[in-house]
Amino acid sequence: MIDVAVVGLGKMGLSHLSMIKAHPEVNLVGVCDATGYLLDILSKYTGVATFKDLGKMLDTARPEAILVATPTHLHAGMIREAFRRGIHVFCEKPLAIDPEESVELTALAEANGIVTQVGYHNRFVGAFREVQRLLELGAIGTVETALAEAYGPVVLKPAGHTWRSQRATGGGCLYDYAAHPLNLLTWYLGEPEAVSGSQLTSIFSAHIDDAVAATLHYPQGTAQIIANWSDESQRKMTTKVTLWGEHGRIHADRQEIQVYLRDTAPIPEGYRAGWNVRYTTDLTEAPWFYLRGEEYSAQLDAFVGRVRARAVHGQNDFGSAATTDRVIAMISEDATRVDARLAASGHTATITPLAPRRASRFGTALRALRGGAR
């Protein structure tokens, strides 16, 4: 059994808590959050040890690994606290606001044999994993053009003052939403040489971006990223990728992968020339616990397995997350240059925020916590 603690009990923190508590190879030894009433509820109904101070929890509960699900600007400091004690870390995405800090944390982990992972769950979706496998097999040849997209109804009215509404604390569509399709692009194509035409657009928000668009340049071609978390036409987050190569085309989302292979393509086993469709349900193993999606359970299971094996390098380790952080910074810097050029010419890339609308109702993740208890 591995002793694990959870830091941060927001939406994702509660989800991680529910799943990791149900893991057959994990012993939950503590949770840490600043919200007293939430800690009281957890202590009363689950019996788990609760803490308001991270250092005290690490020294008292002595976990082998922690799951960090706090606002992005707090990640680096908390990770360093864990590293000083030799504790393995799973951290929600993105890893850090400053990409140089991501690189430093990666080096620290590798130098001290610490297992790390960042919560880019799409790399555990069956259809997206199949895309990577086909690319490694050279099924469509050299990728010349790619498009990565993410849409969802997250911000549909002017928001109040929270960490998500401030760029300095990690808020905004670029950090919180576009990071997912960008992480897929860096997995499939690597780090781009340059970024151009970047726009960070405000729709409802006053201080952050609600939509992102940019072009990534690679030696063999280009990739576009489009993300919008103020898209009311979507019921929930929708992420998808399309890649065009010399021998065909691949399109994938969470539900399925569609592959078109030309006669010139090296046809992988199980595929044929022309159209092919495979479904995520056929590409995914049943999880030991289901909450939000199989990929969320799968990523935590992978982390637990790597901690048991002391495998410093693996899927979504800090090194790969640092690459995504660098691309995020490239887009942010390029958008600033684009805005400056537009302002100089008397134009703007910002859309006037729309009028507020009534917020939708939603439930609490605490119910999932009770259902996930062993």
Q: Please name which of 66, 34, 69, 18 lies closest in space to residue 365, comparing C-alpha atoms.
A: 18
Task: Say yes or no: 132 and 251 in one domain.
Answer: yes
The H or E element spanning position 223 is: strand 221-228
Instruction: Using pLDDT thresholds of 50, 70 and 90, give the confidence band for residue 306.
Output: very high
CATH number for 310? 3.40.50.720
pLDDT: which is higher, 345 or 94 = 94
pLDDT(355) > 60: no
Q: What are 125's two structure tokens?
A: 């979706």
pLDDT (0 to 100) of residue 351: 45
340 within some domain: no
Q: Domain of 166?
A: 122-287+325-334
Phi and psi (nearest 5°) for 178?
Answer: -65, -20
pLDDT(361) > 60: no
Residues 6+ apart with CB under 8 A from 272: 261
Task: Say yes or no: 57 and 133 in one domain.
Answer: no
Angle CA 3–7–9, to nearest 5:
120
CB 79 within 8 Å of CB 109: no
Mean pLDDT of the residues in the chain: 91
Q: What average pLDDT score do residues 283-295 get? A: 84
For residue 131, count other CB atoms closer than 10 A to its CB: 23
352 within some domain: no
Instruction: Using pLDDT thresholds of 50, 70 and 90, give the confidence band for residue 349.
Output: low
CB 121 within 8 Å of CB 248: no
Task: Say yes or no: 94 and 209 in one domain.
Answer: no
Task: Say yes or no: 204 and 96 in one domain.
Answer: no
pLDDT (0 to 100) of residue 345: 73
Alpha-carbon span 250 to 32, nearest angstrom: 43
Q: What average pLDDT score do residues 98-117 get? A: 98
> For the stretch 53-77, what's the b/e string if a residue is b when 16 or more beta carbons lie within 10 angstroms of its beta carbon?
ebeebbeebebbbbbbbbbbbbbbe
pLDDT (0 to 100) of residue 360: 35
Q: Please name which of 97, 50, 57 lies closest in space to residue 77, comparing C-alpha atoms.
A: 97
pLDDT (0 to 100) of residue 95: 98
46: burial class by Cβ within 10 Å (0-12, 13-18, 19+)?
middle
Q: Report the number of distinct structural domains present in the chain.
A: 2
Alpha-carbon span 12 to 32, nearest angstrom: 14
Distance of CA 63 to the CA centre of its chain: 24
> What predicted TM-score, i.e. pTM, was given to this entire model?
0.90
Task: Say yes or no: 129 and 105 in one domain.
Answer: no
Task: Say yes or no: 33 and 98 in one domain.
Answer: yes
pLDDT (0 to 100) of residue 347: 63
Instruction: Using pLDDT thresholds of 50, 70 and 90, give the confidence band for residue 344.
Output: confident
For residue 137, count other CB atoms closer than 10 A to its CB: 14
pLDDT (0 to 100) of residue 320: 97
pLDDT(362) > 80: no
Q: What average pLDDT score do residues 90-96 get? A: 98
62 within some domain: yes
Q: What average pLDDT score do residues 70-74 get? A: 96
Alpha-carbon span 67 to 305, nearest angstrom: 14
339 within some domain: no
298 within some domain: no
pLDDT(60) > 90: yes
Condensed to tens digits (0 to 9), the pLDDT of residues 162-213 reads 877 888 889 999 999 999 999 999 999 999 999 999 999 999 999 999 999 9
pLDDT(356) > 90: no
Q: What average pLDDT score do residues 107-136 get? A: 98
